[in-house]
Amino acid sequence: MPPGRGLGGRPTAGTGQALVDAFLWVGRAGVSVATCDIAGHARAWDYARYNVWNIEGDAQKHFDPLWGHALPPAGDWFAEEALQLASNAQPPLLPYAAARSD
């Protein structure tokens, strides 16, 4: 997921719409979906034109210039993304103590 994203509306079956059964999140926030492979694909990056990281060789195929580092393999925890998704959530997430009902 590109930087700058946040979690959206909370999963719920109370949609308020007769033809919509539920709103849900697909996937787990903060879990990497894949390493970056930008060489020649949808997010191709021209390191010859812009390479402030001085990344060379095969490392260019796995380095994500949007995040500024190589992304974790699929299924691994991606702490920076998890923090960003929580920080940018709309509506905002409640602090743990405020969310507790006991």
Helical H runs in the chain?
79-87, 96-99
- Eight-state DSSP code of residue 81: H
CB 43 within 8 A of CB 60: no
Average of per-residue pLDDT across 9-16: 91
**Residue 18 confidence (pLDDT) above 90:** yes
Distance CA 102, CA 86 (A): 23
Picking from 31, 20, 19, the residue whose alpha carbon sits closest to that of residue 71 is 31
Using the predicted structure, report yes or no on whether residue 39 has a pLDDT greater than 60. Answer: no
Residue 53 in this model has a pLDDT that exceeds 70 = yes
Confidence of residue 76 (pLDDT cuts 50, 70, 90): very high
At 12 the pLDDT is: 92
Region 12-16 average pLDDT = 94
* Residue of 87, 91, 90, 84 lying closest to 1 (CA atoms): 84
Residue 2 above 70 pLDDT?
A: yes
Q: pTM here?
A: 0.67
The confidence band for 36, taking pLDDT boundaries of 50, 70 and 90, is low
